[in-house]
Amino acid sequence: MNYVSVKNRHIKPPKYPIQDMVDDAINVIQASSYLARNRAYLEKMAKVKFIYTPEPIANSFAARNGGNSFGVYTFAGLSLLMCTCAAIFSLYMRTHKVSQAKRAVKWLFGNVFTEIEAYGEEWDAIDPAKIDEFYQRFPEYLVKENYPQYMELARKMITFVLCHEIGHIMLCHCDRTNETSNNVSRNNERSADLFACSILQGTGFGSSFVDGSIFMLLTLYFMYDKKDKNLQYGTHPGMKDRIMNIVQSFRNELMYANISETDIKRLMI
């Protein structure tokens, strides 16, 4: 069946530039009492710089910038991926059509990734042409009235990413100069996730961030799933574990959130 229709050809897919996404996320983070109530966190936050770069790399990380400052780096590829995933997840949350969502996820994660060479390294990147092709294949996500919901979810997903990176900085994970073992790295990922939850809970609107946090980790789950089935032994802990940890730490908020544990599990199997 050919999904490409003339009608949809002129509709632009939802776009949320990385800079706007990051700026919006910073506003949320700055409103959290979890950071504001702790002098050490506040002092460190003053030394954090948020840096967004235009490469289509689908990644973010925190690093020490020499001296006493820190950088949280976010790449434009991440916003492209988040927006598209947010379109899929947000429609799924409203319709609960799991097979529709899975078809879209399967195509997206099977087709949009490419590798680019930057900063002397190979990176997972997003091919923007493939994102356009995605919307032509799945025109159910090209309904303009739904874009504000997609943007809202994408913003919450990026907010979780930034909170996680801030977690690495606050918990001094960026201070080690030597290579860390897989075991340490796994624990670091887990504690950065929990730190992110605490920041979001400190905004007083924790329940509204549950979906974004879980969908962010689900995105990683699909991303790693595509590459490596044997995640337990990599530097990133099993994504299922990480998702269930988040579910656990948001257990109070889940009662008021617009997503349930069943919704999540149905997408993962």
Contacting residues toward Zn ion, per CB under 5 A: 189, 192
In whole angstroms, the minimum distance from the beta carbon of 103 to Zn ion comes to 30
Judged by CB, which is closer to Zn ion: 5, or 181? Answer: 181
Chain Cα centroid distance, residue 217: 6
Question: Could you tell me if 19 and 138 are in contact, meaning their C-beta atoms sit under 8 angstroms apart?
Answer: no
Judged by CB, which is closer to Zn ion: 146, or 191? Answer: 191
Query: Helices marked H in the chain — which ranges?
Result: 6-9, 18-30, 33-36, 39-45, 76-95, 98-111, 128-137, 147-170, 182-201, 206-227, 239-249, 251-254, 261-268
Nearest Cα to Cα of residue 174 among 41, 42, 62: 62
Judged by CB, which is closer to Zn ion: 189, or 211? Answer: 189
In whole angstroms, the minimum distance from the beta carbon of 192 to Zn ion comes to 5
Question: Could you tell me if 139 and 5 are in contact, meaning their C-beta atoms sit under 8 angstroms apart?
Answer: yes
Judged by CB, which is closer to Zn ion: 38, or 187? Answer: 187
In whole angstroms, the minimum distance from the beta carbon of 193 to Zn ion comes to 8
In whole angstroms, the minimum distance from the beta carbon of 220 to Zn ion comes to 10
Judged by CB, which is closer to Zn ion: 124, or 189? Answer: 189
Query: Helices marked H in 15-75 — which ranges?
Result: 18-30, 33-36, 39-45
In whole angstroms, the minimum distance from the beta carbon of 167 to Zn ion comes to 8
d(CA 100, CA 78): 23
In whole angstroms, the minimum distance from the beta carbon of 243 to Zn ion comes to 14
Chain Cα centroid distance, residue 54: 17
Judged by CB, which is closer to Zn ion: 65, or 149? Answer: 65
3-state secondary structure of 122: strand
